[in-house]
């Protein structure tokens, strides 16, 4: 007889007594199955007597019979729990083997009931966004024009900061030519800081055709150790002065920047306005998101699966333990009481995290927010490219570490909070 004791909507105990008759029947059935396949000297395959098999494989048969009986108890108990979603591995909390029966108890963890009413909207404040001014749009337009500027030969007489100096140079250390220390017609933007500190500043004021000797000192942490910290002299000839001419702000700029033949300056301005607006929204939303989450955790009471809370404590403890000194870590490892005390410190934090996960999951369903596997892959792919990593390697790492569900939940949370806040933007 299987009995189910529901502690709450997330934790239950399945109890049963497995009698000796049930075990004996299972052992006989398992022995017959083994006899069909067993290879025993002196017997033809499939003709080994069951009694011989029972004696030869007694321990294995016993273990398999008990395992099968416990599995049946678990399955029947879950059926009695009704329409539930089991989370994680069940835990056998009692296994008392007697002469004529086994007294067994199994703790089962299920997805809790999360009843979300419309009061969650009280957690979302109204958001007032500053308007996007014409000055902001014009400033962004100038930056775009500068980013798409063309380089042209200048008619300036002297070199100024911001110009591009086309130079020939030869470098010397201790009067000897430097290895890889010379170049011809080298374009150097003055003020870019791409050369040794002090080099570019000493070129300012030079005239086209002028040759000048300048002295610099290589930084102590310079990549080439053989010249790090050493003084050098460069003979520099200014061949030409070039300057960047920003692109004209017109329809042609819009076409090039947006890579769209139908784009106009007005199209580009609208695009810039929307980009600035989205940036302002992100800035306005950021400090509100944490407050919304805190409010949600406080507003709803949820039964939490003990195993998931324990797993979250393990994660936090692992992160915190990494910050300890070797001596502190050793003390924890050798003292079970101290370790338990250390774990206890993070119990409330773990419960809040787990609680929030279930709240977000329920709210996302209520609001119709979801992150598809395709969307998840695209985000990972894009982030990997931005960081100069191989997207396939990154996805494989997430899969192997079991991090995809966590990432998916984080993205769902972000998407949900943005949706809730978007609906509270005044004037929209």
- Give the pLDDT band of residue 47 (cuts 50, 70, 90): low
pLDDT at 93: 93
Phi, psi of 106 (to 5 degrees): -125, 130
Torsion sign across C-alpha atoms 273, 274, 279, 285: positive
First to last CA, the chain: 61
Tell me the C-alpha distance between 370 and 202, whole Å. Answer: 59
The pLDDT, as a whole number, for residue 54 is 73
pLDDT at 90: 94
Maximal C-alpha separation, the chain? 109
DSSP, residue by residue, 19-31: EHHHHHHHHHHHH
Cβ-based neighbours of 232, under 8 Å, separated by 6 or more: 171, 172, 173, 178, 181, 196, 215, 216, 217, 218
Q: Other CB atoms closer than 10 Å to residue 196's CB: what's the count?
A: 17
At 42, the pLDDT band (50, 70, 90 cuts) reads low
Q: What are the two backbone dihedrals, phi and then psi, of residue 182, each rounded to the nearest 5 degrees?
A: -140, 155
Question: What local confidence, expressed as pLDDT, does residue 400 receive?
Answer: 86
Sign of the four-CA dihedral 58, 64, 65, 67: positive
CA 357 – CA 312 distance, rounded (Å): 11
Q: State the pLDDT confidence band at 41, using cuts at 50, 70 and 90.
A: low
The answer to whether 44 touches 25, Cβ cutoff 8 Å, is: no
Is pLDDT of 296 > 70? yes
pLDDT for the residue 355 = 95
Domains of the chain: residue spans and CATH: 2-109 (3.30.70.1050), 150-245 (3.10.50.40), 284-422 (1.10.3120.10)
Calculated CA dihedral for residues 17, 20, 25, 26, nearest 10 degrees: 60
| Mean pLDDT calculated for residue range 344-367 | 94
Neighbour tally for 318: CB within 10 Å: 9
Radius of gyration of the chain (CA): 36
**Residues facing 6 on adjacent strands:** 12
**Nearest C-alpha neighbor of 95 from the set 67, 53, 76, 55:** 67
- The 10s digit of each residue's pLDDT in 253-262 is 999 999 899 9
| Banded pLDDT at 46 (limits 50, 70, 90) | low
pLDDT over 80 at 335, yes or no: yes
Are 385 and 391 contacting, i.e. CB atoms less than 8 angstroms apart? Answer: yes
Using a pLDDT cut of 70, give the percent of the chain over it.
97
Average pLDDT across the chain, whole number:
90
pLDDT of residue 356: 95
In tens, the pLDDT along 11-40 reads: 999 999 999 888 888 888 888 777 777 776
pLDDT of residue 410: 92
* Cα–Cα distance measured from residue 116 to residue 363, given in angstroms and rounded to the nearest whole number: 7
Mean pLDDT across the stretch 401-405?
Answer: 86
pLDDT in tens, 243-294: 988 899 999 999 999 989 999 999 999 999 999 999 998 899 999 999 999 9
* Helix axis angle, 373-386 to 404-422, nearest 10°: 100
CA distances from 204 to 190, 192, 200, 262, 347 (A): 8, 13, 7, 43, 64
Distance from C-alpha of 27 to C-alpha of 68, rounded to nearest angstrom: 10
Within 10 A of 209 (CB to CB), how many other CB atoms are there?
Answer: 9
DSSP 351-362: HHHHHHHHHHHH
User: How many C-beta neighbours within 10 Å does residue 77 have?
Assistant: 21
**Do residues 111 and 10 lie in contact, with contact meaning Cβ atoms separated by under 8 Å?**
yes
pLDDT at position 20 is 87
Task: Select from 316, 309, 308, 379 the least CA-distant residue to 342.
Answer: 316
Mean pLDDT of 374-391: 87
**What are the backbone dihedrals phi and psi of residue 168, each rounded to the nearest 5 degrees, phi first?**
-105, 140
State mean pLDDT over 221-237: 90
Structure token pair of residue 305: 């699966």
**Does residue 49 have a pLDDT over 80?**
no
Whole-number Å distance between alpha carbons of 243 and 149: 10
- Reply yes or no on whether the pLDDT at 428 is more than 60: no
Q: Is the pLDDT of residue 399 over 90?
A: no
């Amino acid at each position: 007889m299987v009995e189910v004791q529901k502690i709450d909507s997330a934790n239950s105990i399945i109890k049963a007594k497995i009698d000796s008759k049930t075990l004996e029947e299972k052992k006989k059935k398992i022995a017959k199955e083994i006899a069909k396949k067993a290879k025993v000297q002196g017997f033809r395959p499939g003709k080994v007597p069951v009694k011989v098999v029972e004696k030869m494989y007694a321990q294995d048969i016993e273990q398999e019979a008990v395992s099968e009986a416990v599995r049946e108890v678990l399955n029947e108990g879950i059926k009695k729990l009704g329409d539930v979603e089991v989370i994680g591995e069940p835990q056998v909390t009692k296994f008392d083997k007697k002469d004529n029966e086994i007294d067994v108890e199994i703790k089962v963890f299920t997805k809790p009931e999360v009843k979300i009413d419309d009061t969650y909207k009280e957690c979302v404040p109204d958001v007032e966004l500053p308007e996007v001014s014409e000055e902001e749009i014009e400033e962004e337009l100038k930056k775009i024009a500068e980013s798409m500027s063309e380089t042209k030969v200048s008619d300036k007489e002297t070199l100024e900061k911001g110009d591009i100096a086309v130079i020939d140079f030869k470098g010397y250390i201790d009067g000897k030519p430097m290895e890889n220390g010379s170049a011809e017609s080298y374009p150097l933007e003055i003020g870019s800081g791409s050369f040794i500190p002090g080099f570019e500043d000493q070129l300012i004021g030079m005239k086209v055709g002028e040759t000048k000797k300048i002295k610099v000192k290589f930084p102590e942490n310079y990549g080439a150790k053989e010249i790090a910290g050493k003084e050098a002299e460069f003979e520099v000839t200014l061949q030409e002065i070039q300057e960047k001419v920003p692109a004209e702000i017109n329809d042609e700029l819009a076409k090039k920047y947006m890579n769209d033949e139908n784009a106009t300056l007005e199209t580009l301005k609208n695009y810039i306005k929307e980009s600035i607006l989205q940036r302002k929204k992100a800035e306005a939303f950021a400090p509100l998101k944490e407050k919304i989450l805190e409010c949600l955790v406080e507003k709803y009471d949820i039964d939490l699966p003990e195993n998931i809370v324990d797993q979250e404590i393990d994660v936090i403890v692992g992160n915190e333990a990494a910050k300890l000194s070797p001596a502190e870590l050793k003390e924890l490892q050798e003292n079970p009481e101290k370790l338990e005390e250390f774990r206890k410190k993070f119990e409330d934090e773990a419960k809040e995290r787990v609680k929030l996960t279930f709240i977000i999951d329920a709210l996302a369903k209520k609001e119709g927010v979801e992150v598809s596997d395709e969307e998840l892959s695209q985000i990972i792919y894009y982030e990997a490219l931005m960081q100069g990593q191989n997207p396939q390697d990154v996805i494989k790492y997430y899969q192997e570490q079991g991090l995809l569900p966590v990432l998916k939940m984080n993205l769902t949370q972000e998407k949900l909070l943005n949706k809730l806040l978007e609906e509270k933007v005044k004037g929209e």
